[in-house]
Amino acid sequence: MPRESWRKVNYNLRPAKNIERKMLSEAFRCLTSFGRLNSYRYVGFGSVFFSDFKILHRSLGITPMISIEDTKKRNEHRFDFNRPYSCVKMEFGNSKDVLPKLSWDQRTILWLDYDKTSGLDQDDLTDVSFFCATAVPGSVLVVTVDAREGDPPEKRLDSLLERLSGKVPPDVKNKDLAGWGTARVYREIIDNEIRKTLYERNAALVREQQVQYKQLFNFEYEDSTKMLSCGGLLYERRQAELLKECDFNSLRFIRSGKKPYQIIVPNLTINEIRHLDRTLPHRQRCPISMTDLKRYSELYRYFPAFVEAEL
């Protein structure tokens, strides 16, 4: 995890990210087939804003919560000061060092919400692999990484190979890393790491207890830079019926393959939003373009409401 990014970015004020949090929260509600939501633990990177911690505690009732922060020691008191609830425990250090120190005998939702600008690297895959090798079935993993192109076109592949030696699919070319291509290659690399780790984990298990992976999330969005969020559920083969009962596919943003769900936030005035809210879920003609109308109609239940107030 990078240090000090919280000094530059207010994570409360990113509309696509805000929508993503609410979508993830709604998806986590489906986990009740595996156990009561308040029996889950949440582990994430809260920063000083703890936005995801607040929504998951309020909407799901999750109480055991751990925030991992890689920050300078002199700043630790600021994170402690901003903890929104007493049930949030701070763990200071790099995630690859902190995760192995935690207990893993409880179903866990782990959101590896990396905010470094350098993109996916080996340390990130180490976190992914550790979770998949250790987590209790019924647990969920979400990985978020910066997916900007970064390097000049002719150097992108070399940079990726340098960071992720042996992990990059052999058919990837420089041209595949343009636009949203970097996000799609990252998703494939993360998916491969998950499946490789589970293959090794399952080698010593009887068939019914072997752990499977169901991809649920493949988000692409852009507030100020291209971002990828992907991940899903770990479950035992004998829990296949529980997976069906979750009915994840009833949520339109669930993605089980390569095709992403792109969160594109239309730029609307408050008056336009109020008008659309009065008419939705049905669409009516108005001065707003059909493209923005369609986008808002898909997102309005999760749309952020930002207001200025003096307290």
Range of the domain at 215: 5-263
Q: Give the pLDDT confidence of 250-261 residue by residue, as tens digits.
A: 999 999 999 999
Tell me the pLDDT tens digit for each residue of 125-175: 999 999 999 999 999 999 999 999 888 999 999 999 999 999 999 999 999
- 50 and 191 co-located in one domain: yes
CB atoms within 10 A of CB 43: 23
Q: Give a yes or no: residue 307 inside a domain.
A: no
Same domain, 136 and 218: yes
Same domain? For 229 and 96 the reply is yes
Q: How far from chain centre, in Å, is Cα 106? A: 20
pLDDT at position 307 is 55
- If you search the block for the tokens 């991992």, which residue do you land on? 68
- pLDDT-flagged residues of the chain (< 70): 1-13, 283-285, 306-311
Token duo for residue 273? 């939003």
pLDDT at residue 14, rounded to an integer: 86
CA distances from 251 to 7, 84, 152, 216, 254 (A): 35, 29, 38, 10, 6
Q: What span, in angstroms and rounded, lies between the C-alpha atoms of 185 and 194?
A: 14
Token readout for 32 is: 């009740």
User: In this structure, is residue 310 part of a structural domain?
Assistant: no
